[in-house]
Chains A and B, each alone.
Chain A
């Protein structure tokens, strides 16, 4: 026997065959595929025990209860909190993506001080000392009223602390950004008297006449509105939606009534005219009217006949009469105002005209109607200690009634009209009309202190940033509002230890007040914001701390409301859009985006349709009849009196001819690659139009032209 190459061939073949039929092959294939899932750079969530903590979301005025799922102490998911009186387990996409704000690339991680064009890190002690020093100089100069503050809302203890600091400093220049709550209060003050506010019982109404309110697009308390709308079919309730474009709410409504932009007030008055003419009003309710009901009636019969209203609004006269009769004869009708999300520019004439419908049919403080009651005040701050400088400064008149006037005064004045500005939870350089103008004004103020958690457009203009915890990291009372038929105060709780060197804005204010010494420090004697919160909410603290919320009012309020019709009886002018172009550009509120305060999260931005945002290009809606010379999906140049932009075009028969719709909430320019440099900011194209009589920015849109790029 001779060992030759064939023997070796046999050996090799035998080995190969032996291995092939052994389990090595299949096992190694399986194992190697699992091995590829376990490479060290593959992110794997850390395992741990699951726990839940309850809190309240404060991303929008909705104030929903949330349940935060944690694994091994790390928050991983936000869900709606079941049985919470506002949202009962529901949550919106911004709420569920709330954790992304914790890790936002644009977060301010430590106090920053501007040196030239750049920010430099600074310690909290130095930052507070620096702010106190600057403010001290302003006070010494004898003009404490030159400290102003722009904040998101005039509710809650943190807002109360800012207001208190301004007052004890000697300034009444406290401004809030436009919000539905502020419009509700203003409408109530105009029609019913100071200190009142309005809410709507959408959960029970049998006929909802909505003047552009985006009931499923983020209006009011969004999740509560979704639920009210979802139950509408079961309750056999009707929704008529009046607005220039077929929004999601309009598409979901029983009827969409297209109306020329900016003529909603006229339509409401036209409906009032039909109700008065046909004596469809509630005579018991109108008996409470003061301020010239006859004069108002005569005005309506003269200027707002159905045919005249039809001409102004584009709604057929027969439809106006039909809507008026349906509304007046409905068992539980309610007319809802606040276009879009209700926090943009609004005309007081429109708000009051719409609410007058509620007053006329006598649904005030009735089930399914509009509720008029005193503003909630559960906060009990001790009296301030005011020195003579504070008294003198605080006694001086505000620079203007609203934030728009503040911006205007600062820009118009050659001497600084405002020496120092506090900004918290507000981004006027993005959210206000003619945002470039707002940016210029903020840039002109010598000393701007931002309390922002993020380096957004306004924080970029600040001289110093005292970064706040995000709502996942801070303690705060969050009162509901925004048209909700019940008043609930929720408690936002710190779910995680702060990720960065940030503070609760309440604590930052306490530190500044203490550093200012004297009567100011005396007005802020709390050791911490937590102690302050417990003290000022003492009447509801037990419920807040144990239940996580306190119900302040619920159900139909008792008593009727007085109605003073004098504002409308004076026949205020209807606001016209700025410019002479043939088309009208209107902003669109989209549920998937946020137009005020924080920017939408990366997750929310990803959910935006390519009919709204295509790549980095914003898409505008236009009716094919208006889009002569343009191509569907093509690029165009949109020009308004204040700016021009390159846009993509989407032919949409749901937009009225003559109207161009552009979404709000895009076009951020700060350092967050997931959110910024996508689309353009519609506020760069629309300028403010101040309504005579109210002083509000009531620009519902702006005249525009569009041509092929």
Chain B
């Protein structure tokens, strides 16, 4: 055994002895340390899970409530309002002109929302500044027609049952990115149960991998 190894062995024995003596003396302190650890852990974990989303997202109300169920029932399908143009581009949220295909300056119903719509927007010829739950960042190219017509997907696969909603839920805007909470998904851990729970790039890739055998190339969406 070399001199250095001897010293190391001796040193180790000495420090082990000190440590044992310390534990015997401060075992209550260690117990308190464990409690503090657990308390801090739980507090921070819960804050990160419950409080953090509340701080991260600001809630915004839509200009007025929109009853999708009623409109879908009246119009018959989604395409009446959310159509694909001749060139394949998607009209997205309809412009006021599309609403005016059915609506007039005279309210069609007696609800307060209808009154807001006609007074604030129809008579003033102002576009309704809807908050778009599904708006993707500008760096993303997405073709609706390729998914709905070429691949035969239905709207629900990505947008969920929004067509059956009777009122507009609050729009939650990410204070850092400016995008909707729907992109990351309601679950802050990013866990999803349904295909429409999240709209992140990985969700596109998972579905592409499953349906086409390949997750796709960068330039297909990031032109």
| Residues of chain A whose beta carbon lies under 8 Å from any beta carbon of chain B | 1-4, 6-19, 21-24, 26-28, 30-32, 34-35, 37-38, 44-45, 47, 49-50, 52
Given A21-B45, A22-B48, A35-B177, A27:B37 Cβ within 8 A: no
Does residue B64 face the partner (Cβ distance < 8 Å to A)? Answer: no
Is the CB–CB distance between B36 and A45 below 8 Å? no
Is the CB–CB distance between A18 and B33 below 8 Å? no
Chain B residues within an 8 Å CB radius of A26: 190
Listed stretches B1-9, B22-30, B117-125; interface member: B22-30
Chain B residues within an 8 Å CB radius of A3: 32
Is the CB–CB distance between A31 and B40 below 8 Å? no
CB distance from A36 to the nearest CB of B (A): 10
- Please pick, from A2, A24, A32, A35, the residue contacting B29 in the complex, using a CB distance under 8 A: A2
CB distance from A648 to the nearest CB of B (A): 33
- Please pick, from B29, B40, B176, the residue contacting A14 in the complex, using a CB distance under 8 A: B40
- CB-based A-B contact count at 8 angstroms: 113
Is the CB–CB distance between B138 and A45 below 8 Å? yes
Tally of chain B residues near chain A (CB < 8 A) = 42
CB distance from B72 to the nearest CB of A (A): 23
Is the CB–CB distance between A52 and B52 below 8 Å? no
Is the CB–CB distance between A1 and B44 below 8 Å? no
Does residue B162 face the partner (Cβ distance < 8 Å to A)? Answer: no
Given A7-B36, A52-B87, A18:B30 Cβ within 8 A: no
- Please pick, from B89, B91, B177, the residue contacting A34 in the complex, using a CB distance under 8 A: B177
Chain A residues within an 8 Å CB radius of B216: none
Is the CB–CB distance between A37 and B38 below 8 Å? no
Chain A residues within an 8 Å CB radius of B32: 1-4, 6-7, 10
Scan residues 132-180 of chain B and give those whose CB is less than 8 A from a CB of chain A: 137-139, 174, 176-179
CB distance from B177 to the nearest CB of A (A): 4
User: Taking chain B's interface residues, is the majority helix, strand, or loop, or is none over half, making it mixed?
Assistant: helix
Does residue B99 face the partner (Cβ distance < 8 Å to A)? Answer: no
Does residue B196 face the partner (Cβ distance < 8 Å to A)? Answer: no
Assembled-state Cα–Cα distance A19/B41 (Å)? 7
User: Taking chain A's interface residues, is the majority helix, strand, or loop, or is none over half, making it mixed?
Assistant: helix
Is the CB–CB distance between A37 and B139 below 8 Å? yes
Is the CB–CB distance between A44 and B36 below 8 Å? no
Given A18-B48, A44-B138, A6:B188 Cβ within 8 A: no
Is the CB–CB distance between B40 and A34 below 8 Å? no
Assembled-state Cα–Cα distance A290/B190 (Å)? 89
Does residue B184 face the partner (Cβ distance < 8 Å to A)? Answer: yes
Given A32-B176, A34-B137, A10:B52 Cβ within 8 A: no
Assembled-state Cα–Cα distance A358/B56 (Å)? 79
Does residue B80 face the partner (Cβ distance < 8 Å to A)? Answer: no
Is the CB–CB distance between A22 and B34 below 8 Å? no
Chain A residues within an 8 Å CB radius of B78: none
Is the CB–CB distance between B41 and A27 below 8 Å? no
Assembled-state Cα–Cα distance A31/B190 (Å)? 13
Is the CB–CB distance between A10 and B178 below 8 Å? no
Residue from A19, A45, A47 having most chain B Cβ neighbours under 10 A:
A19
Given A1-B31, A10-B33, A37-B139, A19:B44 Cβ within 8 A: yes
Assembled-state Cα–Cα distance A27/B191 (Å)? 13
Given A18-B43, A31-B174, A44-B138, A11:B95 Cβ within 8 A: no
Residue ID in chain B nearest A21 by CB atoms: B45
Does residue B10 face the partner (Cβ distance < 8 Å to A)? Answer: no
